[in-house]
Structure 1
């Protein structure tokens, strides 16, 4: 009962904090002004993701005090999450050069991996492989890519919030099915925190989460997936499946920009979800389509992998191929590929 009340309280607190942050952003002119690369058309307050950061990290510390989460993971989570959020908030208020942001992101990843103990053994075809010294290097790039792709994909109303909520509820459900309710609580808490924010961010958005929120969600989701992998190797593949919409769109777009000689550090509006939003002329249909993909395609596949019915790598391939084809088809429709 306490766990249920805690989750509900987090959602309510985040809702209230977002309301306060919106008032602050309006008063201080902390606005996202539309430009030629934007997917929105009216100035909108930003920085609302700070509410998610505050409410989630507060409860994470409480769970550490209660002994429901190992302190090593809480230290990794709070240190990396808060550091990325502060860096993002400073960037929201002004501007930080891309190279310094990237350095900060790798420092956050290194901090987290030190406390996590690096990358757990990967499971391929039912066999565990310990990558040795290569493991932490790959894990650092994984964390930074998850962090940055979440920034890239936070471009239309409600999308980043819906993705985080679906992923966390599914991740928590996997823990429950595996008989670990205490492990499930942290993903559920993050889902509740984001849901409280989503009230204000659902299309048409009344506030954006900003880099402070999107970067924070990216790094926290990456760390939750690594924690899941330390608990059960198959769960890493499940989390990667649950995040497939963001991973496919961001990675496909980055590779296409590299292959065509475009600067990957420049802001752009060439992601698949941005083209879809322009096709529909509004954000809500795209966000709802992603919700349906997460619930009806990726969730069942993640459950099959996490519960051991399908090999992890095979499950990832099966989950990703239709999404890759979807992004490719969308780009061809607008004459890009």
Structure 2
């Protein structure tokens, strides 16, 4: 009997309900709550329809961009953001923010290929950032993160170590977009917190980005299906999904989170370089595993 797809819809519904409760109880501002709810609902609905049929890839991408643009506008834009201790990006920052959201929601779909991986990434990332919010005593709402972690954990129990249900595009895209919006909300607070988000998401960002670049440079179409991500290669080498998913959890908690913590608590003038430090071993691993190579 085939494993049912689309089980992640429960994550979407439970988190949207949690956001509604936070808004009603005035623990979350209406515009932040509605940004997350409307954008997340549209992407989840699009993914659900794609799970149960087929949506033209260009139409799907166009909707992704429209949703991302709407989210960036709703958040007030990012023209005031400065990088490298003084370089103001102006309107370019808004373009980068849109591209960031579109890429994150798509890469999350690419990386949802073995049992538990997408759930573990979401749980460890949100829990890590919630801890940072608490330790730094920021004005950001950590309830948004703990609630998302709790919703995803409920799904993880059914998807790992043995998958009784699969997440589906409805949930993977929803998670990617939601995590991206939460990261952009942190960018409104300061650049170091945004860099911490990018660091904590490092495994997914590096694997998906490196693999895509390698495949495009090798002459493959960027939208062709394949099984040459680092995590897929490792799962074949190790003969199981479980050790790969657990290894990713370990990397997130023992390597990426400490760097994110140091970056935000030590008030580095150039937190961007911390992202590079965090990513270098991950890039080396992708190269070592020959990610993007169909023969790997």
Q: Say whether the fold is shared (TM-score over 0.5).
A: yes
- Asked if residue 251 in structure 1 is aligned to residue 202 in structure 2, the reply is no
User: Alpha-carbon deviation of 1:267?
Assistant: 1.1
Counterpart position of 1:325: 284
- 1:109 and 1:213, CA in 2 relative to 1: closer, same or farther beyond 3 A? same
Match of 1:240 among 192, 195, 198: 198
The correspondence of residues 63-102 of structure 1 with structure 2, limited to 5 A, is 63-102=22-61
Deviation string, structure 1 residues 95-132 (Cα, Å, up to 9, x no partner): 1111111011111101111110122644534x244322
Aligned to 1:109: 68
Give the conservation status (yes or no) of the 8 Å contact 1:120–1:229. no
Residue 121 of structure 2 corresponds to which residue in structure 1? 163
1:217 aligns with 2:139: no
In the superposition, the TM-score normalised over structure 1's length comes to 0.84
Superposition deviation, residue 165 in structure 1: 0.1
Deviation at 1:312, TM superposition (A): 1.2
Secondary structure, aligned partner of 1:43: coil
Unpaired runs of 5+ in structure 1?
1-41
TM-score of the superposed pair, with normalisation by structure 2: 0.95
C-alpha displacement of 1:67: 2.2
Computed over aligned residues only, the root mean square deviation of the Cα atoms, in angstroms, reads 1.7
Q: 1:72, CA displacement in angstroms?
A: 1.4
1:181-220 mapped onto 2 (5 Å cutoff): 183-220=141-178
Residues 34-73 of structure 1 mapped to structure 2, 5 A cutoff: 43-73=2-32
Distance apart, 1:309 and its partner CA: 4.3
Q: Deviations over 1:149-197 (max 9, x none)?
A: 0000000000000000000001111111122486111001000000000
Distance 1:145 1:236 in 2: 16
* 2:288 matches 1:288: no
Aligned positions, number: 294
Matches within 5 A, 1:243-322: 243-310=201-268, 311-322=270-281
Task: Go from structure 1 to structure 2 and tell me whether the alpha carbon gap of 1:221 and 1:335 turns closer, same or farther (over 3 Å shift).
Answer: closer
Please state how far the C-alpha of 1:314 moved relative to its aligned partner: 1.4
